[in-house]
Amino acid sequence: MTAQNGILQTGEGERPFPRHIAIILDGNGRWAKKRGLPRVAGHAVGVETLRKIVYYCRDIGMDYLTVYCFSTENWNRPQDEVSGIMKLLVKYLSEAIKTMEQRRIRLRVFGDLSGLSPEILELIERTNEISSRFEGFQTNICVNYGGRDEILRAVNRYAEDVRAGRAEGELTEERFASYLDSAGVSDPDLLIRAGGEQRLSNFLLWQCAYSEFYFTDVLWPDFTPEELDKAIAVYQRRDRRFGGIKA
């Protein structure tokens, strides 16, 4: 193994490197509870962890990182936790606007934007505009995101195009994917869930059809680049067959 950061890179070894990693950032609440802190304190530390992992993913040459930050079901939480998370999102996006171009980090937000506040929508508009100025690594932040909701929104938009005469012919997988929030983004090679649960919780239902799954008990605020290296190393030992057989 002659790899940078302990990771075998394509070209140096035979093992392919994940171009796109998706992460379910889970365990913030339990992390806080263990310390006798309010849940929002766990989310605040979780944002710091996210920042570090974003930089790391850019540094190791990935194309995409997609992170699940707030689901369509998370509105069921107490009002103070929801507003605390939204405030953290505002803070994250506001800081990103100042540094993302210099740091070469493009941002996109996946989810039902119609459920977000005007303040957040304006920040998203600005991050989109900045992201359009350069190429390279992109982080996709999933907020008010649900896999089923994303598929339904895509179906409804497609139906609108059919009614308006803008869509002709058979609907293919590729064409359908272009209606999803993830349009133009390759499917995740590796899906990681922190926090010990082993479920998708409505994340990227369409896109994860052939992703490799990796579950860790590490709570998200404790997650580190070394943990990501471990997940990538496990991924590199997997045999992805996509329904075929090994050559």
Q: Where do contacts with ligand IPE occur on this chain (CB under 6 A)? A: 24-30, 68-71, 74, 85, 195, 197, 199, 201
Size of the site for Mg ion (CB under 5 A): 1
Instruction: Name the active-site residue from 63, 74, 112, 222.
Output: 74
Burial class from Cβ neighbours inside 10 Å (0-12, 13-18, 19+) for residue 170 reads exposed
| Min dist. Cβ of residue 237 to ligand IPE (A) | 26
Pairwise CA distance, residues 134 & 42, whole Å: 33
- Radius of gyration from C-alpha coordinates of the chain: 18
Show Cβ contacts of residue 152 under 8 Å, excluding neighbours closer than 6 positions.
Answer: none
Pairwise CA distance, residues 224 & 180, whole Å: 30
| Min dist. Cβ of residue 76 to ligand IPE (A) | 9
Pick 110 or 235: Cβ nearer ligand IPE: 110
Is residue 229 annotated as a catalytic residue, yes or no? no
**Which one of Mg ion, ligand IPE, none interacts with residue 84, CB within 5 to 8 A by kind?**
none
| Min dist. Cβ of residue 29 to ligand IPE (A) | 3
Instruction: Name the active-site residue from 26, 149, 181, 187.
Output: 26
Pairwise CA distance, residues 46 & 160, whole Å: 39
The one segment of 18-26, 113-121, 181-189, 239-247 that binds Mg ion by CB under 5 A = 18-26
Pairwise CA distance, residues 228 & 234, whole Å: 10
| Min dist. Cβ of residue 195 to Mg ion (A) | 6
Is residue 74 annotated as a catalytic residue, yes or no? yes
Q: Is 26 in the site for Mg ion (CB under 5 A)?
A: yes
Q: Within 13 Å, how many C-alpha atoms sit on residue 117's CB side?
A: 10
Residue closest to Mg ion, measured at CB: 26
Q: Which residues are catalytic?
A: 26, 74
